[in-house]
Every structure is written in structure tokens, then in C-alpha cells.
Amino acid sequence: MVTMGDMNNLLMCFFIVMMGDITVQTQNDFWLTMTSFRGSIGALTGGQSLSPGNLPQMGHNLMALPASKQARALSQALKKAVEAFKPEIESKYVRVQEDERGLVITLSGDVFFDQGSARLKTEMRPVLGKIGRIIKDIKNFVRVEGHTDNAPVNLVRAKYNYKSNWELSSSRSLNVLHYLVEEEGVSPKQISSAAFGEYRPLDDNSVPEGRAFNRRVDIVIVKDRFIEKSTVKDVNRPLPDEEWR
């Protein structure tokens, strides 16, 4: 009796959550989803299976529902970024997407840096201002990632003292980091820099369009990684590898 009572309470809570949160779905969709569970939890007989259409999307949305206040903040940051960068996205200067890392704001290297240089161009500052305002509204770790194409260091890059694409990508990511911290007030504990050189391409380096796509700086708002207060007096947070674990 106790076990049955517990199960009934859990099912009631499940139905309350489903009815309360899934406001964008019709009542027919909801009941079709419920009947699809028949036959898989014991005494109920077989029901309808999910068919292609909007219900698979409903299932995807259920899996993506924010599980915490921080996760909801990241979801809001995605919407805010898409809205804030509409002109830049249309001009293909900026790309905003979400992947397994989190929210990724990609800046085109050709637009925001001179060839072979890590100095921030004037056009980049308003964009970084928008990024800074988004970051300050959340507690997620942020990683600035520098990338290049596979073109070897040439005389143009040599005059900037870059030994390889590692140094160039590192300098660009660090300059973006410094601007966000020093000019936009982003917490230095929240942000870090990484350099990948030519070794994380997104497109084919054998064609000009692909190389241009690979020359980029990614600002990654890391999913499910937040700055937390230390529970041990003598241990400062964040820990050295906390954002990567």
C-alpha cells in the first residue's frame, strides 16, 4: 500500500508538471503523448505510438526544458543574443548557435582583425559590448577560443612576432578576454582563454570560403558549469579545472 501510494503521488506530480509547463501544445497532443505510454508501465494496454509531426519536437522540447535557475538564464541568454546580434548575423559577421559546449557566439576573424594581427579593430568593440552585457547577466563560465585556418605563418604574420598559428589564435583570444574584463566589467574569475590554432576547423581548408569560416574567435558560454562558492575555508573557487570537468 505504501509503495502504491508513493507511485500515485509521483504520477500526480508528473501530470501537474506536464499540464503546467507545456502551454504551447494542444490538449490533443498531450493526451496522445500520454496514451503512447500504455503497454510500457505494466497494467495499461497498448496505445498509439508517436507519429512524425510536431510531437517529436514536443519531446525534444521536454528534454530541453531548463532544470535550474542557471539553465533558464542560459536559455534566456540565447534568445537575447539572437535578438541583439540580428544586424551582425544578417551581415554574417557573427554567428550564434548552441551545441554540446553551450551557447557559442562566433566572431569572424576577417571582419574583426587585420590579416596576421591580433589587434582588435574598431568595428569589434560594439559587438564585444553586447557580449559583455550578456555575460554579466549569467553565472556560467565563459571560454574565449581562438582559431585560424591552416595557412602557414608568412612574412606578414612574422612582423607581428607570431611563431605559428598557435600564437596568433592565442593572442586574439587573449585580446578579446582583456577587453571583456577591462572594458566591459566581466569577472576575471568567470572567463578564460584557449587557443586551438588550425586544429579545430569547421570547414574545408582547401577552399577560400572554408578557410574564412575557420578563421574565428568563439565566445563559449559553457553549459552546466557555474561559479560556485567554496564550502572549504582554505580552498578558493573556482578550482583550476572546474569549468572543464
238: cis peptide before it, omega within 30°?
yes
Residues of the chain with CATH 3.30.1330.60: 69-226
pLDDT by 10s per residue, the chain, length 245 = 888 888 888 888 887 876 665 544 455 555 555 555 544 444 444 444 444 444 444 444 433 444 556 667 677 878 888 888 999 999 888 999 989 899 999 999 989 998 888 999 998 999 999 999 999 988 899 999 999 999 887 655 455 678 899 999 999 999 999 999 999 999 999 999 999 999 999 999 999 999 999 999 999 999 888 888 777 877 788 888 888 77
> What is the per-residue pLDDT across 34-93, written as a single tens digit (0 to 9) for each?
555 544 444 444 444 444 444 444 444 433 444 556 667 677 878 888 888 999 999 888
- Edge-to-edge order in the sheet of strand 191-195: 94-98, 102-108, 216-226, 140-147, 191-195
Cα three-residue angle 206-108-182, rounded to 5 degrees: 140
- In one letter, which amino acid is 146? G
**Domain 69-226 coded CATH 3.90.1010.10:** no
Q: How far apart are CA 187 and CA 181, in angstroms?
A: 6
